[in-house]
Amino acid sequence: MSKKKYADRFVGITPEDFSKLEDRHLKVLEILSKLKAGRLLDIGCGDGNFTMLMAKSCGAKEVYGVDISEKGVEMAKKNGIKAFKVDVDEEGLPFSDNYFDVVTALEVIEHLFDPDHFLEEVYRVLKPNGVFVLSTPNLAAIHNRIALLFGYQPFPMGVSARMNIGRIYEPNSDQSLDHIRVLTLRSLKKLLEFHNFKIVEVKGSCAQLPENMKFKRLFKAVDKILTMFPGLSYRVVLICAKEVI
């Protein structure tokens, strides 16, 4: 799926109140509530609805956002965010070095061809000992291990850019077709450490299960238990600190 095609996919659907938040959103807000940020940058801010909830949680006085979607950037600006259209896969962030106290990037890294460039830019704009919070699907989740055992494609990885085929469950949507690099927790930690981020904490997070899924209550209960073991959970949330080199 081309960048142009998926650019607006998440615009206008970002949760803006607690009743619509997913498990990963709640975990991120819990993390940020323990921090104090003068400046917050949300990479992949979309329409900015959840960005503003994060800013409120950490008491950010200045809120910035970047997104690949021009439509999303305009919506974020209306939310009071200083937003810029940036393709973080190829372009640099339009900010000075050591500028932000907190940078967030939720469900972004799996969409990138060049995560190294992305992490270099995050490191550059963070203040010394600044905090980086990111979330992403976990390739080594138990769901994916079981799928592979039976010869199916892992859930967060598509084999086609046009249709969902090859997985145990094939949703009638473009879900995961735009995922490029889905990482295991172990490999993600190695990548972050290579780019001089110190891993402070890792949290497991639940999958977003389809509404019409069979045995949904059972899967939901098992999925919640697995969040206690981040290496096996469907999604991971990492809290990192910029180490000064």
- What is the per-residue pLDDT across 35-45, written as a single tens digit (0 to 9) for each? 999 999 999 99
Taking the C-alpha atoms of residue 42 and residue 7, their distance in angstroms, rounded to an integer, is 16
User: How far apart are alpha carbons 177 and 194 in whole angstroms?
Assistant: 28
Residue 76's Cβ-side half-sphere holds a number of Cα atoms within 13 Å equal to: 33
State both tokens at 60.
């950010």
Evaluate whether residue 121 is within a structural domain: yes
Residue 153 lies in a domain: no
Task: Name, in order, each residue with C-beta under 8 angstroms of 226's C-beta and a sequence gap of 6 or more.
Answer: 141, 142, 204, 232, 233, 234
Q: The domain spanning residue 109 has which CATH number?
A: 3.40.50.150
> What is the value of pTM for the model shown?
0.91
Residue 150 lies in a domain: no
SS3 221: helix
Report yes or no on 178 lying in a domain: no
The 10s digit of each residue's pLDDT in 153-199 is 998 888 887 888 888 876 666 666 788 999 999 999 999 999 999 99
Q: How far is CA 76 from CA 26, 72, 102, 121, 142, in A?
A: 21, 6, 18, 21, 36
Domain range enclosing 36: 3-139+183-242
Contact call for residues 94 and 69 (beta carbons, < 8 A) = no
Q: Round to whole Å and give the CA distance between 156 and 136.
A: 10
User: Quick one: pLDDT band at residue 6, thresholds 50, 70, 90?
Assistant: low
Residue 65 lies in a domain: yes
* Total domains present in the chain: 1
Q: Which two tokens stand for residue 38?
A: 């003068």
In a domain, 156, yes or no: no
Going by their DSSP bridges, the two strands 197-205 and 126-137 should be labelled as: unpaired
Lowest mean pLDDT among 1-15, 163-177, 202-216: 1-15
Strands 235-242 and 126-137: antiparallel
